[in-house]
Amino acid sequence: MKRELASLVTQMHSSGIPYEDAVRDFKRQYLREVLVAHRGNQCKAADELGMHRNTLSRAMAELELDLAEVRAGLKRPPRSERPFVRAAALPFRQG
């Protein structure tokens, strides 16, 4: 993991990405990843990050991270696009 991060930092530096932009991109991606892991639940994401939900919400606004964008990737596809799965036959109880 440290090697991957070091490689990424080297690539960003050699590409001329300013420090502020690099930090902003990292924060935005990190928060997005945690939000996706908690299916857009800000309370659970904030708890994992060790911050208050309002602080997370403020950070999201500063980073222009839209919760609707995060949740859009989590929605179930329309019925017409879902694979057909046959339900297992359950025994019918009479009586």
Which position has the token pair 């299916």? 39
| Structural domains for the chain | 15-72 (1.10.10)
29-71: per-residue pLDDT in tens?
999 999 999 999 999 999 999 999 999 999 999 999 998 888 8
Q: How far is CA 31 from CA 12, 20, 37, 51, 66, in A?
A: 20, 16, 10, 12, 11
Whether 87 shows a pLDDT value over 60: the answer reads no
What pLDDT is stored for residue 70 in this prediction?
83
Is pTM beyond 0.75? Reply is: no
* CA distance linking residue 62 with residue 41, whole number of Å: 18
Residue type at position 9: V
Give the sign of the dihedral formed by CA 62, CA 67, CA 72, CA 74. Answer: positive
